């Protein structure tokens, strides 16, 4: 147990430094996580909300995936690395949700994979929170 706790403690200490998670990334992650929590129960296809929230948090870390993997203990490092790969490949409903919500939080009216997200995007455009694309 002690061996795994040390890299976690070091990583958490580093996470307080702006170089690892910048203020803008932290704010974006918070808004995206809030959006995920609010929309998850309305989606056409259920998602694993814990996995979605984990992806959002790991995505906010401003470090290469390999660096994150090696900075943590093996279990957490591989888990975080896997989440980032899943996000990059966008092969799961969870990853697509994170990408769609991230774009919406950035103010982009992107194409979505879900009817509820399409309705949310349109409502945000109508409210002036997004610019219509296309």
pTM: 0.83
The pLDDT value given to residue 63: 81
For residue 90, what is the DSSP state?
T
Phi and psi for 131 in degrees, rounded to 5? -100, 135
pLDDT tens digits, 78-111: 999 999 999 999 989 999 999 999 888 877 766 6
pLDDT tens digits, 19-66: 555 667 888 899 999 999 999 999 999 999 999 999 999 998 878 888
Cα 51 versus chain centre, distance: 9
The pLDDT value given to residue 26: 80
Q: Which residues pair with 108 in a beta bridge?
A: 131
> What is the spatial distance between Cα 76 and Cα 84, in angstroms, rounded to a whole number?
12
> What is the spatial distance between Cα 97 and Cα 101, in angstroms, rounded to a whole number?
6
Cβ neighbors of 49 (< 8 A, separation 6 or more) are 36, 37, 40
Tokens 């009817």 found at: 115
The pLDDT value given to residue 23: 63
pLDDT at 4 over 80: no
Cα 101 versus chain centre, distance: 8
- Domains, the chain, ranges and CATH? 2-126 (1.10.3210.10)
Residue 22 half-sphere exposure toward CB, CA atoms < 13 A = 5
């Amino acid at each position: 147990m002690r061996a795994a706790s040390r890299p976690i403690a070091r990583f958490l200490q580093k996470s307080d430094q702006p170089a690892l998670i910048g203020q803008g990334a932290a704010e974006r992650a918070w808004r995206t996580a809030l959006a995920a929590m609010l929309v998850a129960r309305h989606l056409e296809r259920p998602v694993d909300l814990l996995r979605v929230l984990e992806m959002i948090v790991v995505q906010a870390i401003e470090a290469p995936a390999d660096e994150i993997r090696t900075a943590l203990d093996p279990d957490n490092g591989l888990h975080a690395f896997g989440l980032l790969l899943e996000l990059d490949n966008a092969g799961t409903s969870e990853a697509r949700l994170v990408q769609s919500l991230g774009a919406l939080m950035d103010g982009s009216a992107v194409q979505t994979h879900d009817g509820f997200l399409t309705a949310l995007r349109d409502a945000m455009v109508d409210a002036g929170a997004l610019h219509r694309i296309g």
